[in-house]
Amino acid sequence: MNSELLVSDASHFRVDYEINPYMDTAIQPDVQATLAEHQAIVAAHLAAGRKVEYLPSAPECPDMVFTANAAVIRGEKAVLGNPPSERQAEIPYFTAWLSEHHYEVVEAPYLFSGQGDALACGDLLLAAYGQRTDERMLDVLARELDYEVVPLRTVSSRWYDLDLAVGVVAPDLLAYCPDALDAASVRTLRGLGADLIEVPVEEAALFALNLVSDGTTVTMTQGVPRLAAELRGRGLEVVELDTTELAKGGGGVRCTALTLDNPPA
Ligand code: ARG
């Protein structure tokens, strides 16, 4: 899993609007520092042996670096994201890229945060609704991608995308923040039979769970020592990177990579 990723670049990354509580138009990212941060993330994917595909960012799309929201992909099929109006201009670029790369592209009829709210976990799709994703998308995802959809809900806009509250380390190992999910969702996760790492809210708020794991190497933010230690304790290789600038847009490592290689049903 996560051995093939679609990334963009941070050349046009800005905070032009506030569509999540981390964004503040008065606090702009430093251009050079953001470029360096993003390049380090891509370099870490390559060093871990992952294949990285690249779609250049467009000047009118200040959040395009966060490719995770563009779609969720299984096998040869991609269900596009359907983001807030501020980010709609990104979608045609991703549609064109996916079509050119022979994916069957399906439009989302309702609001949908793409992989931000839909994390593949073997044959399961952990899918959140209620923030950036309309509940009706869960049936669409089950039908179009043939996943068994596991519905989850986060408790506030602080966790506007599921990938801030839950991280899939391997199909049988999940990390999650119990305080970020409602009680029913915590029960659901505990009932999956996977090994679970509980992450304190202080670390989750620093994008600890916004990680990319191929099951061997976990690429994640720095500054969250408890989760990093839990992962190392389970024999995983952990690479910790600075995500200070990306955090000004409300994103981290996971948000900047759309997974292209989720195995088909
Ligand atoms: N500024 C972006 C937005 O609010 C950040 C998206 C981060 N992506 C993610 N998968 N959490 O849409």
Q: What is the pLDDT of residue 100?
A: 98
Q: How far is the CA of 250 from the centre of ligand 1 (A)?
A: 6
Atom 9 of ligand 1, nearest CA residue? 255
Q: What is the pLDDT of residue 234?
A: 97
> Positive or negative, the Cα torsion across 250, 252, 255, 256?
positive
Q: Determine contact, residues 72/118, Cβ cutoff 8 Å.
A: yes
Q: How far is the CA of 39 from the centre of ligand 1 (A)?
A: 18
Task: Report the side by side order of strands in the sheet with 71-74.
Answer: 71-74, 77-80, 104-106
Q: What is the pLDDT of residue 89?
A: 98
Q: What is the pLDDT of residue 206?
A: 98
Does residue 60 fall inside a structural domain? Answer: yes
Q: What is the CATH number of the domain that holds 42?
A: 3.75.10.10
Does residue 264 fall inside a structural domain? Answer: no
Rounded Cα distance, 83 and 89, in Å:
10
Rounded Cα distance, 228 and 184, in Å:
27
Stretches in the chain below the pLDDT threshold 70:
none
Atom 1 of ligand 1, nearest CA residue? 249
Rounded Cα distance, 108 and 141, in Å:
9
Q: What is the pLDDT of residue 51?
A: 98
User: CA torsion 51→238→40→127, rounded to 10°?
Assistant: 60
Print the domain residue range for 236.
4-259
Does residue 265 fall inside a structural domain? Answer: no
Q: What is the pLDDT of residue 61?
A: 98
Q: What is the pLDDT of residue 65?
A: 98
Tell me how many domains the chain contains.
1
Q: How far is the CA of 86 from the centre of ligand 1 (A)?
A: 11
Q: 68: which 2 tokens?
A: 């995770």
For 197, the 3-state DSSP assignment is strand
Q: What is the pLDDT of residue 146?
A: 98
Of the candidates 65, 74, 75, 177, the one whose C-alpha atom is nearest the C-alpha of residue 128 is 177
Cβ-in-10-Å burial (0-12, 13-18, 19+) of 228 comes to buried
For 172, the 3-state DSSP assignment is coil
Of the candidates 88, 99, 8, the one whose C-alpha atom is nearest the C-alpha of residue 56 is 8
Q: What is the pLDDT of residue 265?
A: 92
Q: What is the pLDDT of residue 83?
A: 98
Q: What is the pLDDT of residue 17?
A: 98
Q: What is the pLDDT of residue 46?
A: 98
Q: What is the pLDDT of residue 176?
A: 98
Cβ-in-10-Å burial (0-12, 13-18, 19+) of 26 comes to exposed
Q: What is the mean pLDDT of the chain?
A: 98
Rounded Cα distance, 50 and 174, in Å:
21
Q: What is the pLDDT of residues 223-261, one digit of tens each?
A: 999 999 999 999 999 999 999 999 999 999 999 999 999
The residue to mutate among 19, 69, 206, having the most atoms of ligand 1 within 8 angstroms of its beta carbon, is 69
Does residue 143 fall inside a structural domain? Answer: yes
